[in-house]
Structure 1
């Protein structure tokens, strides 16, 4: 599989059969992405779904299927877009690839802040797992895991424990734009030092295709 990290939670996965773009949000640079078969949104927060740029992204990728969680559906319909709305734990076929939405609820930021729907996406029976803004541990064995490293709802120890519980072959750090450069380096060093023995932590270079 090949991956491109466009910043924060925005990741392009090329399975060889399909090109799937996850979470094009306001902290990410995805304007030049072409040849996408599907755009998948985990939840409605702006760092995962940028309403201002999403229509243009789909315009230059006219064949792309738009896949969203239940709460994001109203946002994209207000843009004049008609999405595929997922149901948690109900596998669907996206661009010929099996995708299973899991979890269902955003992690808690504060008890007074509402928690929207959050669909983590497991691609091809565990080849890749993008959790969005939650640390749901799936039953499936995961090969490549997108690991959030910085967020208002996240402690570094939780990211380490999440990686250990999922125990992927490769952990790919994402969701980093809320941290300073120093904070990112601290998080990466801890993840690399404390990951399970079987897990390699691979930092994807910005906007460059990498085989994982």
Structure 2
């Protein structure tokens, strides 16, 4: 399995001759939206840092045959594309990869802000590690995760919750996502505390994921 991080929450997973892009959002570079040959595009929820609707049509045009998978609320509001609805426990097979929906709701930002749908995704191929991208939620910790794409910073999260989530999931390794809200000067503090206290090693140091910070 090769995992390429394209900035913030956007992650490309390649395994079993199958290419799956997750959460091409507004904080991701233009290279994300120039990708071709995708078999599936998964969106965990509707927020613009997870789906940039301004640049989305160009990505769709380049990947007309890709399966489009998202939570029901996002499917109802995104005009471009023929979306398949994802949900907790729903399994979808794309090429050699099985995608399984995890969870149902976005984390609480403020009590006064209504919660929206959020469906994370587990990806697995025979003989390959299982990767989990939770979108914007620490609520559900599935079993059997080898590689965790870990949201590092958000208006809905604090570091103690991030560490707790990593420990509950218990992956073999992890790498950061959802991190464009951290300044370069402070990044080492967040990530250093997380790796020191979660007990989980950085995938980028183990050679298990090919990650970029573009």
Same fold (TM over 0.5): yes
The reply on whether 1:202 has 2:212 as its aligned counterpart is no
The reply on whether 1:165 has 2:172 as its aligned counterpart is no
Give runs of aligned pairs for residues 152-191 of structure 1, distance below 5 A: 152-191=155-194
Q: Is the 8 A contact 1:122 1:128 kept in 2?
A: yes
Aligned residue number for residue 130 of structure 1: 133
Cα distance in 2 for residues equivalent to 1:58 and 1:96: 21
Q: Is the 8 A contact 1:12 1:21 kept in 2?
A: yes
Aligned residue number for residue 14 of structure 2: 14
Greater shift, 148-157 or 53-62, is seen at 53-62
SS at match of 1:36: coil
| Correspondence for 1:58 among 54, 57, 60 | 60
Greater shift, 40-49 or 181-190, is seen at 181-190
Cα distance in 2 for residues equivalent to 1:107 and 1:4: 25
After the TM superposition, list the runs of 4 or more consecutive aligned residues in structure 1 that deviate by more than 6 angstroms.
none
1:170 to partner: Cα distance: 1.0
CA RMSD of superposed structures (Å) = 1.5
Q: Is the 8 A contact 1:3 1:12 kept in 2?
A: yes
1:17 to partner: Cα distance: 2.6
Greater shift, 172-181 or 119-128, is seen at 119-128
Q: Is the 8 A contact 1:137 1:165 kept in 2?
A: no
For structure 2, the 5+ residue unaligned runs are: 205-210
SS at match of 2:34: coil
Aligned residues: 203
Q: Is the 8 A contact 2:120 2:132 kept in 1?
A: yes
1:32 to partner: Cα distance: 2.5
Greater shift, 99-108 or 187-196, is seen at 187-196
1:87 to partner: Cα distance: 2.4
Q: Is the 8 A contact 1:89 1:100 kept in 2?
A: yes
1:191 to partner: Cα distance: 1.6
TM-score by length of 2: 0.89
1:135 to partner: Cα distance: 0.6
1:137 to partner: Cα distance: 3.2
Residues 202 and 168 from structure 1, CA distance in 2 versus in 1: closer, same or farther, beyond 3 angstroms?
A: same
Aligned residue number for residue 210 of structure 1: none
Q: Is the 8 A contact 2:99 2:124 kept in 1?
A: yes
